Amino acid sequence: QCLLSGSWRSDTGCRMVVSTLSEDGRFSGSYLPGPATGDSEILPVPLQGSQQDAGLVPQPTFSFTVHWRLQAQTTVFLGQCYVGTNGEETLHVLWLWREATDSPSEDWKATR
The whole-number average pLDDT for the span 93-106 is: 92
The total domain count for the chain is 1
Contacts 24+ apart (CB under 8 A), 93-97: 93/10, 97/73
Q: What is the pLDDT of residues 76-89, one digit of tens each?
A: 999 999 999 998 99
104 within a domain of the structure (yes/no): yes
pLDDT digits (tens, 9 = 90+) for 41-65: 678 899 999 999 878 888 999 999 9
Residue 105, pLDDT above cutoff 80 = yes
> What is the three-class DSSP state of 87?
coil
Q: Report the half-sphere exposure of 39 (CA within 13 A, side-chain side).
A: 7
> Does any domain span residue 1?
no
* β-sheet bridge partners, residue 28: 48
**CATH code for the domain in which residue 20 is found:** 2.40.128.30
Identify whether 52 is part of a domain.
yes
Residue 22 located in a structural domain? yes
